Amino acid sequence: MFEVGKTYEIVILSAHEDGICETIQHWEVKAIEGTLLHLHVPADTTSEFAQLTGPTSEQNMVLNTASCFFHSATLSS
């Protein structure tokens, strides 16, 4: 099960013209309501990646873990 305050590597499926694709991203769980996860990724302005590609903005998402597009989640260390 998920825990508030923990960060997970989340895999989400998406449909495209070429078929099904996986999107993998690290998200922090901010709240849990049944099968809904309120997720957050802070803005990145200081990492090496951000220095090479430019800063990223803050992201928030509500993910329904009962959705057929939710594939998996692994606790990040």
Q: How far apart are CA 48 and CA 55, in angstroms?
A: 10
Bridge partners for 70 per DSSP = 12
For each successive 10 residues of the chain (77 residues), what is the average pLDDT? 95 93 94 98 83 87 96 92
| DSSP structure class, residue 47 | S
The half-sphere exposure of 76 on its side-chain side, counting CA atoms within 13 A, is: 13
- Are 56 and 50 a contacting pair, CB within 8 Å? yes
This prediction has a pTM of: 0.82
15, two tokens: 């449909």
The helix/strand count (H/E) of the chain reads as 1, 5
